Amino acid sequence: MTKPVPDKAEVAMEYPDKFYIGTFERTAQFDAHFDETGISLALHRTGPADTRKSVRMHFHYGLFAEILRDLAKTASSLPATDATRRAELSDAAKSLYLALKLENDGSDLTPDEEVRLLHILE
C-alpha cells in the first residue's frame, strides 16, 4: 500500500559513464514492507512521462540488520538540539522493535504499545 512521502528522499545512482539523481518529495508516494527474503522499499513520483519515475530497492534481512546497526553507531552525529528528528527516529525504531518482538497473541504489549503498533500497521 503506497502512502505519501512525509518528508523528502534523494536517490543517486552512479555508473562509470552515467549518473542518475532523483528527488521524491511530499507529492510522491512510498511503500515499505517485509517480504519472504527481506525488506522491500519503493518510491514513486507520478505525473507526465518526463517527470514520472520510480525507484525500487530490496535488502535481504542480514544486510538490512547491518544497516540498522551502522545507523545506531552513528546516531550520536545527530545534533542533540534536534529533538524533533531524534524523537521521530526513536519512536519509529521502538515501533519496529515492538512489532518484531510481538508474540503470537500480542499479550505482552502495554495498551500504549498496542495503540502505537496499530498506527504503524494502518
pTM, rounded to two decimals: 0.75
Mean pLDDT of the chain: 88
Residues ≥6 apart with Cβ < 8 Å to 61: 37, 38, 39
Spatial contact of 24 and 48, defined as CB atoms under 8 Å apart: no
Residues 53 and 88 in one domain: no
Residue 104 located in a structural domain: yes
The residue assigned the cell 514513486 is 44
- For 11-69, the pLDDT digits (tens) are 999 999 999 999 999 999 999 999 999 999 999 998 888 889 999 999 999 999 999 99
Residue 30 located in a structural domain: yes
The structural domain count of the chain equals: 2
Low-confidence winner among 9-13, 61-65, 95-99, 110-114 (lowest mean pLDDT)? 110-114
Burial call 58-70: b when 16+ CB within 10 Å, e when fewer? eeeeeeeeeeeee
Residue 68 located in a structural domain: no
User: What is the residue range of 2's domain?
Assistant: 1-60
Residues 55 and 2 in one domain: yes
Residues 56 and 6 in one domain: yes
Residues 56 and 83 in one domain: no
Residue 22 located in a structural domain: yes
Residues 82 and 55 in one domain: no
pLDDT at residue 117 in the model: 65
Residues 49 and 99 in one domain: no
Residue 113 located in a structural domain: yes
